[in-house]
Amino acid sequence: MVKAIVRAAGQVVEAAGSTVGIRCGTEEPPHTTQRLSDSVEIRRYQQRIAAETTVSADEESARNEGFRRLAGYIFGSNHGDTEIAMTAPVAQQRGTTIAMTAPVAQSSGGGGDWTIRFFMPSRWTMDTLPTPNDDRVRLTVTPAETVAVLRFSGDRGGPAVARRTAELRDTEFEPTGEPAAWFYDPPWTLPFRRRNEIAIPVRPRTG
């Protein structure tokens, strides 16, 4: 009983903190960073594991449905009835063939197939992660990659994501995959406190 009360209190505190963009102990995939400007940087990620699902719907509906399926998996809807810690960011990407990995790639407007991803905490492996109960959720290994990342706050609807994606595309980098949109905060976070990113796989610079 006491443990349940403490846990509930902790969840209330975390929810309150997330309203203003405070992420309490949320793990992010390890990476190295080379900052190019206030909003753009190059990151190098190592191989990591993700739980992902593909949804055929408009952008917002796909994101909501994909989040629901994946949240079910990490909150215990799996063969081990095991809870898995939430990480950040959540990734959404257009299409069913995904060359990049990382926390959502999307283009503006319309329906189609969208793949939503949760990256697994680093302590898990493909051998130790429980099998999802929902056969629409799959576990994948995403390869190491170098990405150009543009960070922004505020609106993260389709037009805003498309505008930021176009901004990042207008750079000197050579893309090697499709863009993704990465979201670090829940919908109730105050817009000006949200951390959103566009990430595009690029060829690593030499020299």
Q: For the segment 46-69, what is each residue's pLDDT rounded down to a tens digit?
A: 999 999 999 999 888 999 999 999
Q: What is the percent of the chain where pLDDT is above 90?
A: 67
With respect to residue 43, please indicate whether it lies within any of the assigned structural domains.
yes
With respect to residue 17, please indicate whether it lies within any of the assigned structural domains.
no
Helix H segments across the chain? 2-19, 59-74, 158-169
| CA atoms of 63 and 52, how far apart (whole Å) | 12
Residue 135 belongs to domain with CATH number: 3.20.80.10
Q: What is the dihedral of CA 46, 26, 52, 98, to 10 degrees?
A: -40
CA distances from 192 to 15, 72, 185, 195 (A): 17, 28, 11, 9
How far is Cα of residue 96 from the mean position of the Cα atoms in its chain?
16
With respect to residue 3, please indicate whether it lies within any of the assigned structural domains.
no
| CA atoms of 28 and 37, how far apart (whole Å) | 21
Domain tally for the chain? 1
Structure tokens at 54: 């593909």
147: helix, strand or coil: strand
Q: Which DSSP state fits 131?
A: P
Lowest mean pLDDT among 14-18, 120-124, 183-187, 195-199: 14-18
With respect to residue 5, please indicate whether it lies within any of the assigned structural domains.
no
Domain that holds residue 100: 27-201
With respect to residue 82, please indicate whether it lies within any of the assigned structural domains.
yes
With respect to residue 147, please indicate whether it lies within any of the assigned structural domains.
yes
